Amino acid sequence: MKHIIISYFTFFILLLITSCKDDSPKQNDESLNKIEFINGESPIYLTFDASGGSQSLKFRTNESWKITIEEQESNNWLSYSYSSENDGVTNITFKASANSDTNSRNCKVIISTFHYKAYIEVTQMQKDAIVISHPSYKLTEVGGKIEIKIGHNVDFETNISANWIQQINNSRTYNTKTLVFQINENTNKNRRIGAITFSSKDKKISQKIKIIQESKESKNINDNYVHIDWKENELIKCEPENGIYSFIVSENNKPQLEKGSVFIVDKDKKAYIAIAKEITEQNNVVTIKAINGSIADIFHDIDFTLTNQPSTYGNGNVIYPYEIVYYNQKGNMIVEQCSSYRSSIKDNYLTSQKWTYHQYATNIPLLENDAISLGVKDMYIDLRLNMNMYFNFGGINKIEMPQEGFERHISDMKKVSANMAGVMSFKHLLAYNISKYYSTSIKKEILNDIFKPIYLRFMVNGVLVQVELNTKLYLEASLKVDGKLSSEVDFTYNTDGKVGIEWEQSLGEPTPIKEVSHKFNFTPINIEGKGITETKVAISPNFYSTIYGIKSSSFDFKPFLTTNISGGYNKDLLSSNKNFCTWQFKSCAGSDFNSSLNIMSSSGEKELQLSDYFSKEELNLIHTPLYDSPIDIELATENYNDIQKDKPIDVSFNIYDNFYLLENTKVRTSLPHIVKFEGQGKLSSIYDIVKNGTVTINWTPSSSYDSLRAVLYDYEGKVIKRTVLKGKNKLCPNNNHPHFIDLGLPSGVKWACCNVGSKQPEDYGSCFRWGEILPKVEGIDYIKKDISCISGKPEYDAATANWGSPSRMPTLKEMEELKNNCTIKWINYNKNLSGILITSKINGNCIFLPASGVEYDNINLEGYYWSGTSHSPLFSFAFYFYDSSYGTSMSDVEWGHRIRPVQ
């Protein structure tokens, strides 16, 4: 066993010696004891440009080898990796990082074996550079000289962007230049920004220096703010929601924008703040991709109050608007230039006559289902308000914006306050109808476009600051009802004072501003039915202001009315014999107030909200849908052709509401409205109540020419809507022409069914010059009549002369009477006959005047009919019509017109 162990040990030693001997080079084979480069002979030279990169080389050796980089710590810009290939070939890859230095750099790489060393010389070229001493210079409005030291290893050119910067001399050392520039005095109101650009002749490298020069008014403006003159630079795209702006650049007033520049866009009297994150220019069109900015991106170390009031509630510099922009009732933009702040105030209030709304008997249902209807029948709102906003800015905080690629400079907000002061008046006539138990809370914005925004434009240290004032109208209600009951309550609320919010950084939480006095009044009306109600209703405005499109403050002012009704009251509308009264009514009024403030703090956008209530009775008020009822009444079908004398017929009408939540869709009403019926013949009822949106009347006409009218009235007796059913009669019900028709006119005058010279209502008749009794004939001279009225005088009146007395021409007064007591409608009786149908508002009788033209021109397009009243020897009065226009006017007495007689 011992001999076996010794044998194994001896064998292992021999094997180890043999292996070590095989790794040593063979002295008699020179190709194995040196390093052979595939790419060339040692030393090898590798050159990298300034951007860096990688290069490879290959070598072969049979000896063990190692690689070193001389002074590895200082030459850490070079690294290597290697891999083995076939036939003893090794591939080495060298990688150089980018050289940001303005000098070249070198290092030596050594590959060594036991007997041999090979050298690789590596060189990386320097970066072409122009180095400036300062990236920007800030000067006062006085101007002066600046010296700029420039280090460079390339020749460069100098380009100056503004003519108020001039180069005056320079000195030079071996690789450094000192350039001197003169900055002229700034006499403008706005600060200005220019640039000096140093670039290599091949334009591959450049350095820009920003020159910021203040004006007398531009102190306390952040350096990254760039003023753009929109009178010089034409804005062609403005998409604040997408952050895209484009404008045609002015060569004389080109803004110096860069990443992080803050600028104001003024588009159609609406201003926005943006911060540039990407700028491109092509064919004199600059396109900017931006993010939204705020007022804190512009001002620092300043406080000021923006107001339109002579007496303010803020501190600091008081600034009044130089321009007020608002919209009139027609939706047209009005721009008021304010030479002084008092000129911007009408009746001492900014919003006087701008934020006033009055709609009587609107019948706006706010909630409607099978259990309850809640609506407004009368609404009056008058908001007479003024605006005050106070800002206190501290120093500037720098915030990195890694996703946007720039640093944002936001001022520290120290204090903010905002309030609306003035007088607010509200009047609501509320109507309730319930049919069974129901409990709910509702919340909805209503009438959202009755108050147009008002824009106040201020100039703060040469910077445009725009504040938008707006308000939305809300209804909030909570209610619990049971029974079958309806009621109306007239509610009036007035307040005087101011509401607002104030926030101070040192105190943290905002505090409300509330200095108001209240006055309430209510009157219960028309309580009918039996039941119990517990309701709380508030129709109120939400005031809010935005600065450059960002919401800054918001105030909810909510005058509310609570009602409790129990018991009942019933009155049959068609009889006075069924009455009973056993009800109780209680009402409680108050006012709620919420306010919120949205500010820009040093950490970015921060929203602070606060709620404080004058009345603690109800905290959670909510809104309702908007519903307008009724708005229209129409025939249920148009196929009522069989209208005959003494033949009864059932006629149905549909009544419609407007459901605003379905984009103003007209829907069949579900309310029990009362419809009144009027007309000739026999009616089964004068009034009827709508059921499921339809009402039906049985009507027996007294002739085939009778008409039936269905009318919706409001509770004051004013007509909301009416529709008429008429038989499809001829133009004249009597075939014995001509004859005279009684239109029920106050004077008792009757009008003929035909023109002079015709035997049918649809015939045009003859043309007469005024005062002539024979039809007009070309070539025969006209004899002027110096007479004020020819009506009934047979020597001048063609109607009397041709039809005999008492037929005569109508006077101007009688034409006006006809127009004022009749409805006039243009109709196309058939393809060849058009004219106007004149229908009495009094008795429904009608006459037809064909569109007989002027003389023989424009037939079927217009009509002119002489009166017997003269204006002067050259002109007399006539009745005219065409399409939808009609009236009385003067006409040349020599023109040929038709004549419609009267008696």
Distance CA 271, CA 266 (A): 4
Give the pair of three-digit tokens for residue 142. 């006085």
Position 599 pLDDT exceeds 80:
no
Q: Which of 179-193, 238-252, 455-469, 786-800 comes out lowest in average pLDDT?
A: 179-193
How many helices and strands in the chain, by DSSP H and E?
A: 3, 52
Position 872 pLDDT exceeds 50:
yes
The tens digit of pLDDT for each residue in 388-428 reads 888 888 888 888 888 888 888 888 888 888 888 888 888 87
The tens digit of pLDDT for each residue in 824-851 reads 988 776 667 888 989 899 988 889 999 9
Distance CA 88, CA 60 (A): 6
pLDDT score at 619: 29
Position 703 pLDDT exceeds 70:
no
Distance CA 516, CA 62 (A): 101
pLDDT score at 830: 65
Select, from the ranges 372-381, 680-689, 822-831, 860-869, the one with the highest average predicted confidence (pLDDT).
Answer: 860-869
Contacting residues for 747 by C-beta, under 8 A, at least 6 apart = 814, 817
Could you tell me what percent of the chain has a pLDDT over 90? 21
3-state secondary structure of 202: coil
DSSP-derived secondary structure for 109-148: EEEE-SS-EEEEEEEEPPPP-EEES-SEEEE-TT-EEEEE
Distance CA 788, CA 55 (A): 114
CA atoms within 13 A on the CB side of 122: 28
Nearest to 467 by CA among 480, 458, 475, 459: 458
Could you tell me what percent of the chain has a pLDDT over 70? 79
pLDDT score at 582: 39
Which pTM value belongs to this model? 0.50
Mean pLDDT of the chain: 78
Select, from the ranges 135-144, 360-369, 487-496, 710-719, the one with the highest average predicted confidence (pLDDT).
Answer: 135-144
Position 571 pLDDT exceeds 90:
no
The tens digit of pLDDT for each residue in 180-201 reads 898 888 887 777 888 888 888 8
pLDDT score at 638: 66
Position 448 pLDDT exceeds 80:
no
**Averaged pLDDT, 569-593:** 44
The tens digit of pLDDT for each residue in 86-112 reads 878 899 999 999 988 877 889 999 999
Position 9 pLDDT exceeds 80:
no
CB distance 118 to 65 below 8 Å? no
Position 73 pLDDT exceeds 50:
yes
Position 576 pLDDT exceeds 50:
no
Comparing 478 with 282, the larger pLDDT belongs to 282
Comparing 357 with 312, the larger pLDDT belongs to 357
Select, from the ranges 186-200, 445-459, 741-755, the one with the highest average predicted confidence (pLDDT).
Answer: 741-755
